[in-house]
Amino acid sequence: MYEALPTDTIAAIATAPGQAALGIIRISGPAAGDLLQQVVQTSRHCLSPDTMAFGRVFDRTSGALVDEVMCFFRRGPRTATGEDVAEIHAHGGPLVLRDILARVCAAGARAALPGEFTSRAFFNGRMDLTRAEAVMALIGAKSEQAARVAARQLEGAIGKGLEDTYDALTDIRGQLEAGLDHPDEDLVGPSLETIALSLDNIRSTLERACQSFRRGTLLTRGARIVIAGPSNAGKSSLFNRLAGADRAIVDAEPGTTRDVVEAIGERNGIPLTFCDTAGLRGDAPRVEQQGIERAKQAAAAADILLLVMDGTAGTPPEDVLELARLFADRSILIANKCDLPAFSPPDMSPLPSPLCISARSGDGLVPLMGRIDALLQSDIMGDVVLTTGRQHDAVDDACRHTAAALALLLEKRDPELVALELRRAQEAFASLWGRHASTDVIDRIFSTFCLGK
């Protein structure tokens, strides 16, 4: 449990496990300075602010040297956690670091929980929840773009991008409630049309923020690009082309791919997982039918679906057309084998015309990658990019309640109902930064952090 306004002192190894040149023991809390002086013997006062001091850690029983270290101390609240903070920089051997940490705990510190340093920064007002989530996003970033988005969030990009919208919502709620609380006073406020226009602008801003969530998840976890289509359409050949290696078996016999085959790649800083799947056909044997079912499941979960059809075989099967209709917003239709004399792109109307390629020769691959880039990169670097489900849910709830308030206002319903929806919208909006977040939500966020953060 992560307690608001804690009073004890915590300590943890703040560097990654394993051998390294250096390792850091971090201490935070009211006794940080006292514990540092107890554990480290220095030739000068180690509590001088913002000064690194050389010292030694000795075994108090035998007097043997444990390690030579550098130490640092700074008083709160101008620290990462808002509390007094000390650090011991030792040699990075795991045994040495565990030994020094044990001595710090024996002197009176408590072993920190995962994420407890960052949670103290939150409770002490040093950062909001979006910035706290950005800490782990930056640590776990799998691409340069993901790291840049996390760094912007660490600077408060979400707050800066949406704070004006939150303030506008607060002003409208205040104006409406002032009229409800003082009905006998002749208060001059904005017109119904002005309030409705403001609420519609707020709703539109929140909708755009919600739409950024898909792009944010692409950056944090990468994109799954699934290749599906009928047997012998050239899916495995295209998969090998995109993977840059012969990962999948290519053969004229139908059914050579019976499971989902994956390959890892990257495109413009976004991690990609390419997936080859079993060919869709109705007369497949029992084992292959299982592969076809997995292919359909993979298509449903795809961020981008490449539907590959044989450009020499006429109209594609109905199950392929069904996938194209179901996932039209994230599908790219492809007619393969454009290098063959019998090639004739199938008529897909009312669906878009397929992109003509040859997986064997590589023709059409450049336009295909351009289509993939367009789906991956659309507005990816906007100011507000939501990257966690919690962020999305908070903004989505605020958007829904704002839309409900707008609808009630336009219907000229009871102003108290409008004010109620605005209160719910504001509370949901505020939870984005943790202003009204429940203890369970806060515990869930920080429990996913690594030790020492």
User: Do 324 and 233 belong together in one domain?
Assistant: yes
Question: Mean pLDDT highest for which of 114-128, 288-302, 428-442?
Answer: 114-128
User: Do 28 and 112 belong together in one domain?
Assistant: yes
Across the chain, mean pLDDT equals: 82
Q: What was the pLDDT predicted at 438?
A: 62
Q: What was the pLDDT predicted at 174?
A: 79
Question: Mean pLDDT highest for which of 144-148, 289-293, 352-356, 373-377?
Answer: 352-356
pLDDT band at 251 (very low <50, low <70, confident <90, very high): very low
| Beta strands 304-310 and 331-336, pairing class | parallel
Structure token pair of residue 444: 């869930």
Q: What was the pLDDT predicted at 187?
A: 45
Structure token pair of residue 281: 């056909």
pLDDT band at 321 (very low <50, low <70, confident <90, very high): confident
User: Do 211 and 327 belong together in one domain?
Assistant: no
Q: What is the pLDDT of residues 221-239, one digit of tens each?
A: 888 899 888 888 888 888 8
Range of the domain at 194: 144-218+388-434
Judge whether 292 and 260 are in contact, CB under 8 Å: no
Q: What was the pLDDT predicted at 441?
A: 64
User: Do 352 and 235 belong together in one domain?
Assistant: yes
User: Do 87 and 57 belong together in one domain?
Assistant: yes
Q: What was the pLDDT predicted at 5?
A: 64
Q: What was the pLDDT predicted at 28?
A: 95
Q: What was the pLDDT predicted at 193?
A: 81
Q: What is the CATH number of the domain that holds 237?
A: 3.40.50.300
For 168-178, what is the mean pLDDT?
81
Q: What was the pLDDT predicted at 287?
A: 58
- For residues 306 and 326, what is the distance between their CA atoms, to the nearest angstrom? 13
Taking 90 as the threshold, does the pLDDT of residue 24 lie above it?
A: yes
Residue 1 lies in a domain: no
- For residues 255 and 237, what is the distance between their CA atoms, to the nearest angstrom? 14
Judge whether 261 and 298 are in contact, CB under 8 Å: no
Q: What was the pLDDT predicted at 395?
A: 93
Q: What was the pLDDT predicted at 381?
A: 47
- The structure tokens 């913002």 sit at 50
pLDDT band at 39 (very low <50, low <70, confident <90, very high): very high
Pairs from 319-328 (Cβ < 8 Å, separation ≥ 24): 319/280, 319/282, 320/228, 320/229, 320/230, 320/280, 321/348, 321/351, 323/228, 323/296, 323/299, 324/348, 324/351, 325/351, 326/300, 327/299, 327/300, 327/302
Residue 188 lies in a domain: yes
Q: What is the pLDDT of residues 385-427, one digit of tens each?
A: 888 889 999 999 999 999 999 998 888 888 888 888 988 998 9
Q: What was the pLDDT predicted at 250?
A: 52
Q: Is the peptide bond before 271 cis (omega within 30 degrees of 0)?
A: no
Query: What total number of domains does the chain contain?
Result: 3
Q: What is the CATH number of the domain that holds 17?
A: 3.30.1360.120
Taking 60 as the threshold, does the pLDDT of residue 247 lie above it?
A: no
CB-based contacts of 177, cutoff 8 Å, min separation 6:
419
The percent of residues in the chain predicted with pLDDT above 90, rounded, is: 21
CB atoms within 10 A of CB 438: 10
User: Do 169 and 200 belong together in one domain?
Assistant: yes
